[in-house]
Amino acid sequence: MKVFETVIETQNYTKSHSVGFVPTMGALHEGHISLIRRAKEENEISMASIFVNPTQFNNPEDLARYPRTLEADLERLEKAGCDAVFVPSVREMYPAPAVLKMDFGRLEQILEGAFRPGHFNGVGLVVSKLFHMVRPQRAYFGQKDIQQCAVINRLVNDLSFGIELVFCETVREADGLAMSSRNVRLSPEKRRVAPFIYQSLLKGKALLQSGVSPAEVESTLAAAYAEHPDFRLEYYEVVAFSDLERIPAYDPAVKTVLVVAAHLDGVRLIDNLIL
């Protein structure tokens, strides 16, 4: 497996290959590795990047606490058969402070956008830069961050990147918890209660499919979180898959998503369930 730290090295390698690209911030888990496996299946070479992007953190403490496990990540990627990894420094990614501001419309104002101002501007910046630097034919993302997928889809379409986006299903632990780099920050005790998040999504699904209105589902599950001593809920909403806006009524024929964000043990966790 080749490891590159500069854009020049990376482009010299990728210019003559069909590249399947998996951008990451490291602290890799099986969800990331599943994306690498698919990239290997569908392209001449598979390539990951590892870069903890400072511009997408609106909380400096969250940036400082983000796990950095480069040596273990590289070992895991090599074991998975990844062909190459781009590991740039902050100076390589941002030779000068970024001043460009991206506006993703309503996606900036709802759900993650409402609770993490500026986050998607940072995501848009770094993904744009990585796409220009790596020049892949396909890029792979997990649907756990479903709003991020929507933002990147808007980015690629509006700026005509000419890259095929491949969004893959959320990979879960045996107890249902969505795999996330943040999970390692949970204490063993709190890790045992973390599957409540996925259970709440399954409960919402069952209620919707039994005829309960989206508004009632939201209030019922918000009450369940309020009664749970370990969680602090930010949102639990029933939204349309097409634009992530809340829906007045559930139609089984129309793709719908249950989305949730909650704090547990000082860790902010998100998840969703697509119906």
Amino acid at 97: P
Residues near 124 by beta carbon (within 8 Å), at least 6 away in sequence? 102, 104, 151, 152, 155
CA triple 33-38-39, angle to 5 deg:
95
3-state helix, strand, coil in the chain (%, to 5): 45, 20, 35
Cβ atoms of 162 and 61 closer than 8 Å: no
Q: Establish whether 29 is a catalytic residue.
A: no
Cβ atoms of 271 and 193 closer than 8 Å: no
Instruction: Identify the active-site residue in 32, 119, 228, 263.
Output: 32
Integer-rounded Cα Rg, in Å, for the chain is: 19
Which helix (DSSP H) or strand (DSSP E) does residue 134 occupy? helix 119-134
Three-class SS of residue 93?
Answer: helix
CA 39 to chain centre: 17
Q: How many CA atoms lie within 13 A of 243 on its CB side?
A: 7
Helices (H) and strands (E) in the chain, counts: 11, 9
Helix axis angle, 30-42 to 70-79, nearest 10°: 40
Q: How far apart are the first and last CA of the chain?
A: 38
Cβ atoms of 150 and 107 closer than 8 Å: yes
Amino acid at 219: S
* Residues identified as active-site: 32
